[in-house]
């Protein structure tokens, strides 16, 4: 079924996927991945997965929605969807995003400018299914029909659609084929926001139907609110791990330091993405060393959820989002710190500094800021002596969407790299016009079925092209190269995608954070902080 997909196809009752992708269909990559034949083959979805879950969209399955056992169950689910649809457009239920959602529903002219900006649409070989307006078209038609109660005139004006369970099931999956990077919204001449539509659909499914990918709900925000972190670490474990990191980094750098915990009245409460502590311990270690050497009065908090900056609710659920944001600021309030500083995690930046701003009133309105300006000020202050020649290798910078296009933190990281990395080069385009890493909005942690294959082949493809182009003059394996990604989620995507394409072994392509580059260039630490070992 590889003819151009139309919105009506989504109501089709068959179990087969609407589209199938082959490597030859996809946007070509530059060398060393230029030949589609050398690209990975796609493992098909298993028969057991197809038998158990709704997989009628494309070659993969992100949400694992159990297939209803009867037509009655289907009807009940459709009724739930309709109920959620009404709530999505009501003030009491959705004051949080009602205005931008209405504006997007009622004014799209169908010019398709958004599609030209979408990395997933382009990378897929311009498949209709992944066009930003495709999923929005469903919601718009259903909105005019079932919320505005439009009749024949409305159907003539806005299009009609048959609402049934296959459509809802496909829409659930389709809401998870968008990285929520909002590059499409940036391009729209009207200001419509298809990224918001994907996010609001996810919200409807979560808040009304209780449907969300396990990785971001049960194992994500729910676990964080219960145990303190989506990693499962409780306060004692995280303190142990940080103590181990302090010791290790002290040994590696030759400068001893200890992370302070629960210091009342500290200037800075630093909150990392706890995934860093588990997967990239050198990042929190580097932060600890930098802040200590710069004389910053800082602390970490062992309160529930306050040692993990993640807030997955940003991607799918307003209530979960607000609950986690509240935990973060309550910890800061309880300690009486002057400000919260967020470590290298893009969505945590956006969540706590920007989106939560209009939820945090009164004494909960504690200043919150990015760590990047703080790091920039430290690097440029002269408090620490640097030797940029220690970073004498090609470096490029990935702009996490949540920090850059969606928050406006663009220059601080560049000011650091220009000073400390002699071979720094930009990707094109960059800054607020960047492309998503392909792991945004939860994709980087969603590993069920063959979803990672889709993530590397499609959503990450444009970024991979950018990276390979940025290093096109030095792809030789003798030259180590560093993709600086000041975001845990993006690093997770790069780790998995580079491994998938074997780019470390073949081309010595490494990724890492910004703080690591800073410590690597410190003149007074032992050389070789960045170890150039795959992890």
**Which residue, 408 or 528, is less far from other proteins as judged by CB?**
408
**Residue 473: CB partners within 8 Å, gap ≥ 6?**
none
Out of 131, 455, 481, 491, point to the residue binding other proteins (CB under 8 A).
131
How far is Cα of residue 204 from the mean position of the Cα atoms in its chain? Answer: 20
**Which residue, 36 or 66, is less far from other proteins as judged by CB?**
66
Q: How far apart are CA 318 and CA 201, in angstroms?
A: 12
Per CB under 8 A, which region of 23-31, 82-90, 277-285, 453-461 contacts other proteins?
Answer: 82-90
Q: How far apart are CA 274 and CA 238, in angstroms?
A: 8
269 lies in the binding site for other proteins (CB under 8 A): no
Q: How far apart are CA 88 and CA 200, in angstroms?
A: 8
What is the nearest approach in angstroms of other proteins to the Cβ of residue 331?
A: 15
Q: How far apart are CA 195 and CA 442, in angstroms?
A: 14
Site string for other proteins, 222-261 (x = CB under 8 A): x--xx-----------------------------------
Q: Residue 287 is encoded by which pair of tokens?
A: 């932060």
Per CB under 8 A, which region of 29-37, 130-138, 465-473, 478-486 contacts other proteins?
Answer: 130-138
69 lies in the binding site for other proteins (CB under 8 A): no
Query: Residue 363: helix, strand or coil by DSSP?
Result: helix
What string of DSSP letters covers 340-353? EEE-S-HHHHIIII
Q: Are strands 298-299 and 268-271 parallel, antiparallel or unpaired?
A: parallel
CA neighbor of 32 nearest in space, from 510, 501, 512, 532? 501
**Which residue, 268 or 484, is less far from other proteins as judged by CB?**
268
Out of 412, 486, 492, 512, point to the residue binding other proteins (CB under 8 A).
412
Q: Residue 57 is encoded by which pair of tokens?
A: 């969209």
Q: What residues between 302 and 341 interact with other proteins by CB under 8 A?
A: 319-320, 322-323, 326, 339
Site string for other proteins, 178-217 (x = CB under 8 A): ----x--xxxxxxxxx--x---------xxxxxxx----x
133 lies in the binding site for other proteins (CB under 8 A): yes
151 lies in the binding site for other proteins (CB under 8 A): no
**Which residue, 113 or 423, is less far from other proteins as judged by CB?**
113
* Contact assessment for residue 267 and residue 338, using Cβ atoms and an 8 Å cutoff: yes
Out of 159, 260, 447, 480, point to the residue binding other proteins (CB under 8 A).
159
Out of 357, 392, 476, 531, point to the residue binding other proteins (CB under 8 A).
357
**Residue 106: CB partners within 8 Å, gap ≥ 6?**
none
Out of 35, 99, 334, 502, point to the residue binding other proteins (CB under 8 A).
99
Q: What residues between 432 and 471 interact with other proteins by CB under 8 A?
A: 432
Dmax over Cα atoms in the chain, in whole Å?
75
What is the nearest approach in angstroms of other proteins to the Cβ of residue 342?
A: 10
118 lies in the binding site for other proteins (CB under 8 A): no
361 lies in the binding site for other proteins (CB under 8 A): yes
How far is Cα of residue 36 from the mean position of the Cα atoms in its chain? Answer: 27
65 lies in the binding site for other proteins (CB under 8 A): yes
Out of 293, 310, 409, 427, point to the residue binding other proteins (CB under 8 A).
409
What is the nearest approach in angstroms of other proteins to the Cβ of residue 168?
A: 14
Tally the C-alpha atoms within 13 A of residue 173's C-alpha that lie toward its C-beta: 26
What string of DSSP letters covers 444-482? GG--STTHHHHIIIIITHHHHHHHHHHTTT--STTS-EE
**Which residue, 225 or 479, is less far from other proteins as judged by CB?**
225
What is the nearest approach in angstroms of other proteins to the Cβ of residue 530?
A: 26
| Rg from Cα positions in the chain | 23
Out of 158, 170, 398, 455, point to the residue binding other proteins (CB under 8 A).
158
Q: Residue 75 is encoded by which pair of tokens?
A: 């009807």
How far is Cα of residue 471 from the mean position of the Cα atoms in its chain? Answer: 24
In terms of Cβ atoms closer than 10 Å to its own Cβ (0-12, 13-18, 19+), residue 377 is middle
What is the nearest approach in angstroms of other proteins to the Cβ of residue 266?
A: 15
Per CB under 8 A, which region of 157-165, 239-247, 477-485, 509-517 contacts other proteins?
Answer: 157-165
407 lies in the binding site for other proteins (CB under 8 A): yes
Out of 110, 265, 429, 528, point to the residue binding other proteins (CB under 8 A).
110
Neighbours of 506 (CB within 10 A): 13
Four-point Cα dihedral 469, 473, 476, 481, nearest 10: -70
Out of 82, 103, 147, 474, point to the residue binding other proteins (CB under 8 A).
103
**Which residue, 96 or 250, is less far from other proteins as judged by CB?**
96
Helix (H) / strand (E) containing 252: helix 235-253
């Amino acid at each position: 079924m590889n003819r151009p997909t139309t919105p009506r196809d989504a109501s089709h009752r068959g179990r087969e996927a609407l589209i199938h992708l082959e490597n030859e269909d996809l946007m070509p990559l530059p060398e060393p991945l230029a030949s589609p034949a050398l690209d990975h083959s796609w493992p098909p979805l298993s028969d057991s997965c197809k038998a158990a879950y709704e997989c009628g969209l494309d070659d993969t399955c992100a949400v694992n929605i159990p297939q209803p056992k009867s037509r009655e169950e289907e009807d009940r689910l459709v009724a739930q969807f309709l109920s959620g649809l009404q709530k999505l457009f009501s003030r009491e239920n959705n004051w949080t995003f009602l205005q931008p959602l209405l504006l997007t529903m009622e004014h799209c002219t169908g010019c398709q400018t958004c599609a030209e900006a979408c990395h997933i649409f382009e990378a897929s070989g311009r498949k209709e299914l992944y066009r930003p307006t495709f999923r929005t078209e469903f919601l718009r038609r259903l909105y005019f029909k079932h919320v505005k109660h439009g009749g024949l005139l409305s159907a003539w004006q806005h299009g009609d659609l048959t609402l049934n369970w296959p459509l809802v099931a496909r829409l659930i999956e389709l809401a998870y084929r968008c990285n929520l990077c909002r590059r499409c919204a940036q391009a729209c001449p009207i200001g419509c926001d298809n990224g918001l539509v994907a996010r609001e659909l996810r919200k409807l499914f979560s808040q009304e139907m209780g449907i969300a990918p396990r990785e971001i709900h049960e194992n994500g925000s729910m676990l964080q609110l219960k145990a303190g972190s989506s990693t499962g670490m409780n306060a004692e474990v995280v303190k142990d791990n940080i103590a181990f990191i302090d010791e290790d980094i002290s040994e590696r750098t030759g400068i001893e330091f200890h992370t302070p915990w629960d210091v009342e009245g500290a200037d800075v409460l630093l909150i990392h993405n706890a995934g860093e502590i588990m997967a990239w311990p050198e990042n929190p270690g580097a932060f600890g060393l930098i802040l200590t050497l710069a004389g910053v009065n800082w602390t970490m908090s062992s309160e529930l959820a306050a040692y993990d900056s993640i807030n997955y609710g940003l991607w799918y659920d307003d209530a979960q989002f607000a609950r986690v944001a509240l935990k973060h600021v309550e910890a800061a309030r309880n300690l009486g710190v002057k400000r919260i500083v967020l470590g290298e995690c893009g969505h945590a930046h956006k969540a706590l500094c920007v989106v939560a701003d209009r939820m945090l009133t009164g004494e909960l309105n504690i200043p919150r800021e990015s760590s990047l300006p703080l790091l920039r000020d430290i690097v440029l202050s002269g408090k620490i002596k640097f030797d940029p020649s220690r970073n004498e290798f090609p470096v490029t910078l990935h702009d996490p969407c949540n920090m850059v296009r969606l928050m406006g933190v663009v220059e601080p990281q560049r000011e650091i790299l220009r000073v400390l990395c002699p071979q720094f080069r930009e990707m094109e385009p960059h800054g607020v016009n960047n492309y998503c890493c392909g792991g945004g909005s939860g994709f980087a942690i969603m590993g069920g079925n063959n979803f990672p294959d889709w993530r590397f082949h499609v959503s990450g493809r444009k970024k991979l092209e950018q990276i390979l182009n940025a290093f096109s003059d030095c792809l030789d394996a003798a030259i180590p190269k560093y993709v600086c990604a000041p975001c845990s989620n993006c690093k997770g995507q790069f780790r998995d995608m580079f491994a998938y394409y074997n780019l470390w072994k073949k081309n010595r392509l490494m990724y890492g954070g910004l703080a690591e580059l800073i410590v690597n260039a410190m003149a007074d630490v032992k050389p070789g902080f960045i170890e150039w070992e795959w992890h």
